Amino acid sequence: MRGESTVPGDKSVAHRWLMLAATAEGTSVLAGVPRSLDVQSTVRALREMGASIEPAVEPGGFHVEHPARGTLEVRGRGRLGLRGPSGAVDCGNSGTTMRLLAGLLAPVEIEVVLDGDPSLRARPMERVAGPLRRMGATVSTRAGHAPIALRGGDLEGISFEPEVASAQVKGAVLLAGTAAAGETLVREKLPTRDHTERALEALGVSILRSESVAAVSPGQHSAFEGILPGDPSAAAFLVVGAVISGGAVSLSGVGLNPTRVGFVDILRRMGARVETVEEWSSVGEPAGRITATGGGSLRGVSLSQAEVAAAIDEIPVLALAAAHAEGESRFEGAAELRVKESDRLAGVVAGIRALGGEASVDRDALVIGGGGLRGGQVHAHGDHRMAMAFATGALAARGPSSVAGMESADVSFPGFVESLRGLGLDVEPS
């Protein structure tokens, strides 16, 4: 695996910028919007509620070439201007779309039903419904799950400490807080990605922040021009691929927000050579180059619950890296992985075993025996990150592997297989 590459725009940031652009005053231009299925769910939802979102010409600035990136012009309707959709809003496979929309819409006087595919319908939604109810919105779930029925209206700011580490819940409450009376404060036990806070700050909304607290006051934000950084969670697959297969990759324009690149520190601790250089920033999000060089051996690693939370989407691919390391690895406090697009705790264990490695779950900890993989047949069960993690782990296996369900990569990384081929790998449909 060798060469230069890029990745699609950051899905997490794209959801937030699209929602903020649709509720801004004026017309925003967003470049580098990924054509991933999850982001399309957000675009579709906002259009159904009256936002005009159309392809546009890319503004000048920090251009990042990738076939799955596009530029969109979004005509904002003002903070409370979205209108009720004609039917249920289909959030597809996207938990971020559903949870952030619930917060965005909670202060708007409309009725909305948010629904999704069977995977999304199985995920917990009370974690976001609860605080929005406390703020004054009328929210019901079906036994804690989607569909979520929401009637928005006047909200009061709250002080809220989420039980689980979740940037989606934090983001939803802060977005609701931009149109609630008084201050809305979120205090986190473990830090999570801060894209909502950075965007609100960059757009002039009054927000006070410390490491564990964010407090927002109501205000109408203005339209903006933004260039999305490449998705560090997508980059993680190529970085791990290079590290475990003895290759070398250099990825430009990747988001380097410190709350997203925890996986880089973890890989370094395992003995990998990974460098980052910050080159530009847009709407408060830093971006630059990530270079990874393989060749040396990796050692097993112990991760705390906070480290797991800070690299939550990268845990599957880090687990595959750990399977190629020398010695055992232990990832503590990984229970949240059970409620992602699939049960990733069980899925990682089953996948590593199917590829000829050792893995188990010890209460909420993931334990991975090192020593390499033999290769084998695995199934992604419709989960994009599992498909890409298995494919990445398979690159350094001693024999060939096949991964069923590779098409789900389009949820966050359209063009993943083409990127692998572009870096010199032998990946064929079977």
Rounded to a whole number of angstroms, the minimum distance from the CB of residue 94 to ligand S3P is 9
Query: Interaction with ligand S3P in 298-317: which residues (CB under 6 A)?
Result: 312-313
Q: Position 284: which residue type?
A: G
Contact 150, 84 (CB under 8 A): no
Q: Which is nearer to ligand S3P, 90 or 313 (CB)?
A: 313
Rounded-to-integer distance, Cα 127 and Cα 182, Å: 22
Q: Which is nearer to ligand S3P, 12 or 305 (CB)?
A: 12
Query: Interaction with ligand S3P in 171-190: which residues (CB under 6 A)?
Result: 171
Q: Which stretch binds ligand S3P (CB under 6 A): 25-33, 132-140, 166-174, 375-383?
A: 166-174
Residue of 12, 36, 141, 178 that binds ligand S3P (CB under 6 A): 12
Rounded to a whole number of angstroms, the minimum distance from the CB of residue 313 to ligand S3P is 5
Q: Which is nearer to ligand S3P, 90 or 341 (CB)?
A: 341
37 binds ligand S3P (CB under 6 A): no
Rounded-to-integer distance, Cα 72 and Cα 127, Å: 32
168 binds ligand S3P (CB under 6 A): yes
131 binds ligand S3P (CB under 6 A): no
Does residue 313 have an active-site annotation?
yes
94 binds ligand S3P (CB under 6 A): no
Q: Which stretch binds ligand S3P (CB under 6 A): 163-171, 243-251, 353-361, 413-421?
A: 163-171
| CA-based nearest residue to 29, from 73, 77, 63 | 73
Q: Which stretch binds ligand S3P (CB under 6 A): 130-138, 164-172, 246-254, 364-372?
A: 164-172
Query: Interaction with ligand S3P in 260-289: which residues (CB under 6 A)?
Result: none
40 binds ligand S3P (CB under 6 A): no
| Other Cβ atoms within 10 Å of 370 Cβ, number | 21
Q: Spell out the residues 6+ positions from residue 100 whose beta carbon is closer than 8 angstroms to its own.
A: 15, 16, 19, 168, 171, 172, 175, 196
Rounded to a whole number of angstroms, the minimum distance from the CB of residue 16 to ligand S3P is 7
Q: Which is it for strands 207-209 and 52-55: parallel, antiparallel or unpaired?
A: unpaired
Contact 145, 95 (CB under 8 A): no
Would you list the DSSP string of 331-389? E-S-GGGGGSSS-HHHHHHHHHHHTT-EEEEETTEEEEE-S-----EEE-TT-HHHHHH
28 binds ligand S3P (CB under 6 A): no
Rounded-to-integer distance, Cα 119 and Cα 116, Å: 8
Q: Show the 3-state SS of 87-129.
A: CCEECCCCHHHHHHHHHHHCCCCCEEEEECCHHHHCCCCHHHH
Contact 276, 256 (CB under 8 A): yes
Q: Which is nearer to ligand S3P, 171 or 218 (CB)?
A: 171
Rounded to a whole number of angstroms, the minimum distance from the CB of residue 326 to ligand S3P is 29
Rounded to a whole number of angstroms, the minimum distance from the CB of residue 348 to ligand S3P is 14
Contact 50, 66 (CB under 8 A): no
Burial (CB count <10 Å: 0-12, 13-18, 19+), residue 277: exposed
96 binds ligand S3P (CB under 6 A): yes
The one catalytic residue among 38, 90, 313, 383: 313
Residues making contact with ligand S3P (CB under 6 A):
12, 96, 166-168, 171, 193, 312-313, 336
Q: Which residues are catalytic?
A: 313
